[in-house]
Homo-oligomer: A and B are copies of this chain.
Amino acid sequence: MARSSLTREEVLAAAAGLVRQHGPDALTMRKLAAELGTAVTSIYWHVGNREQLLDALVERTVQDMGAVRPVGRTPAERIVSVARGLRRELRARPHLIAMVHERGLTERMFLPAQQALVHEVHAAGLRGARAADAVRAVQFQVVGFVLVERNRERSPAQSPAETELWDDPAAAGAAAPDDPALTHALTRPADPERLFLLSVRALVRSLLAPAG
């Protein structure tokens, strides 16, 4: 089953497909070769080796991460909208994002978003180092949240989950004696979407507040 002519593009596309569907571990040179109908060693001619193949995939992902356009009337609203857009883009490419992160290209991937954040923070009246801090705080918050969130999704069966932990009356009582609503809330799994919005809004409100 010889192919007319194998392209570097074809190799990258097939590799991206494997990663997208089954994660980076599923991307073995041999499986990739089988998928493409070539000998394993042909792949080496086109992309060097496995490491360089992953580098190329990551590079591609970084460039695909388009600029997010802020929406909303106030700077705070617009910052939150950037954060939401960032989260959406990150969640659409979980495996590739993880690889970008492992390779230390996260900052570069976030340049468009960072520029948007700088613009909004500036519009909100922040200047100098304080503006830079605000931008970075939001960036860290968003990326960190998505990492944690993604992790929870991947391993849904936390055993024992918070659920069961707070079902222990002794433990629950020790921390918060008379608040069944609180313990009940902690018993149910967190709603990430809601928690994300709530967290970002809370952070942004403080960062943009007049007094340092």
A119 interface residue, CB < 8 Å from B? Answer: yes
A146 to B176 Cα, complex, angstroms = 27
Are A137's CB and B199's CB within 8 A?
yes
Find residues 92-146 in chain A having any chain B CB closer than 8 Å to their own CB.
101-108, 111, 114-116, 118-119, 122, 127-129, 131-133, 135-137, 140-141, 143-146
Find residues 155-187 in chain A having any chain B CB closer than 8 Å to their own CB.
155-162, 165, 171, 174-176, 179, 181-182, 185-186
Are B155's CB and A103's CB within 8 A?
yes
Are A175's CB and B136's CB within 8 A?
no
Q: Which residues of B contact A60 (CB under 8 A)?
A: none
A203 interface residue, CB < 8 Å from B? Answer: yes
Q: Which residues of B contact A114 (CB under 8 A)?
A: 162, 186
A137 to B137 Cα, complex, angstroms = 14
Q: Which residues of B contact A174 (CB under 8 A)?
A: 115
Q: Which residues of B contact A137 (CB under 8 A)?
A: 195, 198-199, 202
Which 7 A-B residue pairings sit nearest by Cβ, starting from the closest? A144-B144, A104-B155, A132-B185, A128-B181, A202-B206, A115-B175, A118-B175
Are B186's CB and A155's CB within 8 A?
no
- What is the count of identical protomers in the complex? 2
A57 interface residue, CB < 8 Å from B? Answer: no
- Spell out A's residues near B (CB within 8 Å): 101-108, 111, 114-116, 118-119, 122, 127-129, 131-133, 135-137, 140-141, 143-149, 151-152, 154-162, 165, 171, 174-176, 179, 181-182, 185-186, 190, 194-195, 198-199, 201-203, 205-207, 209
Which B-chain residue is minimally distant from A171 (CB atoms)?
Answer: B115
Are B104's CB and A152's CB within 8 A?
yes
Are B151's CB and A148's CB within 8 A?
no
Are A118's CB and B202's CB within 8 A?
no
Q: Which residues of B contact A132 (CB under 8 A)?
A: 182, 185-186
